Amino acid sequence: MATSKMKTTRRELAAQLEKVEQALETTLEELSRANRKLEEQRAQRDALRLQLQELEHSQPQAEPQPQHSPSAGTSKAAPGQPLALTQEQRLAQLKHSRLLLDSDWFDAEWYLATYPDVKKAKKYSQAPHEHYLMYGGFEGRNPCAAFWSAFYLATYADVAASKTNPLVHYLLHGRKEGRRIMPKGAETKK
């Protein structure tokens, strides 16, 4: 009798586990779709910003606004907004330029294809890694399909607080520390 009860309990637990695993898989698929949609919407937003900026440049009386102007006083970016860095801090990011260029984690071709506004910007179309270093990483843009910048910054508050580019932090420290670059299970859904 006790063995029969154990078998029933085991089957019930196995069924519950299977339901939870299916729900988790569904959630990860939804997260992956949402991330792709987010990237598309950001690209659309940035293209519109670029068009607006070009329009403002064509009007001599208008003072053009930079596409990526740092906000004053905040240390953490609101969702979809660039992290507030001083110009000095942005320039300091450039010292890691070679690190990104030598890394397999920054895919310039993928970055330009994913973010057409960067490709349209004369300054960054030839050096997309510089855009990622100074702006893209803090805006949650990804350097390649396998590294989720927004996830990295949201998961590791110390990185966001340090105002270090997420991929730069990962290459210098995070990889050795075993930090995740995307949610668990997401890499199997790509």
Residue 57 has pLDDT above 70, yes or no: no
- pLDDT band at residue 6 using 50, 70 and 90 as cut-offs: confident
Q: Is the pLDDT of residue 82 over 60?
A: no
pLDDT at 130 over 80: yes
- Segment 19-32 shows an average pLDDT of 79
Angstrom distance (rounded) from CA 170 to CA 181: 8
Residue 5 in this model has a pLDDT that exceeds 80: no
What's the sign of the alpha-carbon dihedral 144, 145, 146, 147?
positive
Q: Tell me, what's the pLDDT at 34?
A: 74
Burial per residue of 50-66, b for 16 or more beta-carbon CB atoms within 10 angstroms, e otherwise: beebeeeeeeeeeeeee
List, in sequence order, every residue forming a beta bridge with 144; answer none if it has no partner.
147
